[in-house]
Amino acid sequence: MFIVVDLIGYLDKFLDRDVSKILIIKYYAYYLPYIVVLSLPVAMLLASLFSVGQMTRYNEIVAQLAAGISLFRILLPIFGLGLFISVVTLYVGERIVPFTNQHKLDIYNTYIDKSRPHAAKRNKDIYMQVARNQWLNIGYY
């Protein structure tokens, strides 16, 4: 859904600049991790609500409670999967999305919005002396 809306918004620029299909696919491939990080928490919440709702509708929770299983034990798989999805989303959001967004922006600035100058390269491995025997290293800025 996100990609279709974005494609409709940028379709005139793609056609005006004669951007190749491969470049458009790469542009949206770099956009995909951001979309996943944005939509995965909401999808997990809705899936959990629907699952518990269906279990309640068919009295599965009542049957399990009558069998002596605690509510925490019944919902533990949902909590576990939610925790796993949260950790994966955090990792993707912190490690992968910044690089893919930078590549997406580079493609946009270079091939689509040719009127703007190329984005400045980010500085890497900056060293600064803080004290006499102390150096500060900034790996990526």
For residue 141, the model assigns a pLDDT of: 57
Among residues 109, 117, 112, the alpha carbon closest in space to that of 11 is found at: 112
- The C-alpha atoms of residue 72 and residue 79 are separated, in whole angstroms, by 9
Q: Model's pTM, two decimal places?
A: 0.72
CA-to-CA dists, residue 132 to 128, 129, 135, 136, angstroms: 11, 7, 8, 11
SS3 of residue 69 by DSSP? coil
Residues of the chain with pLDDT under 50: none
* CA torsion angle 40 42 43 49 (round to 10): 140
Q: What is the pLDDT of residue 33?
A: 96
Helix/strand number for the chain, H first, E second: 5, 2
